[in-house]
Amino acid sequence: MRLPHVLSPRGVPMSLDLPATPLARAAQTVIDTELTPALRNHSVRSFLFARAAAADRGLRPGVDYNEETMYLICTLHDIGLAEIANGDQRFEVDGADYAAEFLESQGVTDERVDIVWDAIAAHTTGLSNSPVYRRRRPAAIWVAVDGIAIDIGGNADMLPRGYADRVHMDYPRLGGIRALTHLVEEQAVANPAKAQPGSLPGEIVRLTHPELAPSWQDVIAAGGWGD
């Protein structure tokens, strides 16, 4: 069942359509194939929420931000939690590296590859909350990260009334962020190099497996200067 068509308060249609360029379809194939259903749906919801929240603020795709680039950031931002991209770095950086190599294989320009890498590698750091960061970085980055944050935090008040319900009908949560957290924990416990102190994986391990989590004092004690 489809819910009625929704307009934002600004009268902007809140579509569930996804970009259909060859590059966007290639990225969609990657996440359909490699991500768990819960992560795949989170990635698509993040894009839809990002676009809707941006429209509600008067930001126009193709004018104020590059919609395809924003879509690539959202769809690939958690690819580091898939086995295909699971390396020895925190999942955000493993994912950024995989996304960059994927985009390079598709002939994407270095400038756009760099934008996607920066966004994915830093999407859990809070950098995009900085007004200077937003002024000096392409809007596709922080529009995407805002959408990811909406899906993580449940900030439905940033969306047109009823839009989240429409999105969830097509892309159900399937365990939502608890399912995502379990994957982060699973990777980090198997490979502690992926959970440096102060990172999101490091914090998850500290809370769930404190015996495995080095503290900042441990880092200092292991240093070679005797501090």
**Where do the domains of the chain lie, and which CATH numbers do they carry?**
22-174 (1.10.3210)
**Is the pLDDT reported for residue 4 higher than 50?**
no
Question: pLDDT at residue 6 above 80?
Answer: no
Instruction: Please answer whether residues 196 and 93 qualify as being in contact, where contact means their C-beta atoms are separated by less than 8 angstroms.
Output: no
**What's the CA gap between 137 and 118, in Å, rounded?**
10
Concatenating the DSSP letter of every residue in 108-175 gives --HHHHHHHHHHHHTTTTTGGG-HHHHHHS-HHHHHHHHHHHHHHHT-GGGS-TTHHHHHHHHS--TT
Please report, for residues 19, 39, 91, the alpha-carbon distance to residue 16 in angstroms, rounded to integers and kept in the order given. Answer: 10, 18, 28
What does the block give as tokens for 173?
A: 């949560």
- Given a contact cutoff of 8 angstroms between Cβ atoms, the answer to whether 199 and 37 are in contact is no
**Region 39-67 average pLDDT:** 96
Task: Tell me the CB-side half-sphere exposure of residue 150, using CA atoms within 13 A.
Answer: 28
Mean pLDDT of 206-219: 87
**pLDDT at residue 12 greater than cutoff 70:** no
The one-letter amino acid code at 145 reads V
Are 8 and 57 in contact by the 8 Å Cβ rule? The answer is no
The yes-or-no verdict on residue 13 having pLDDT over 90 is no
Token readout for 170 is 């097509």
* Orientation angle between helical segments 139-153 and 37-56, nearest 10 degrees: 120
Whether 156 has a pLDDT exceeding 50, the answer reads: yes
For range 112-118, the mean pLDDT: 98
Of the pLDDT bands very low, low, confident and very high (cuts 50, 70, 90), residue 7 is low
Q: Which of 176, 149, 175 is nearest to 49 (CA)?
A: 149
CA–CA separation, 12 and 29 (whole Å): 28
H helices of the chain, where?
22-34, 37-56, 67-76, 91-105, 110-121, 131-136, 139-153, 163-170, 176-190, 200-208, 216-221
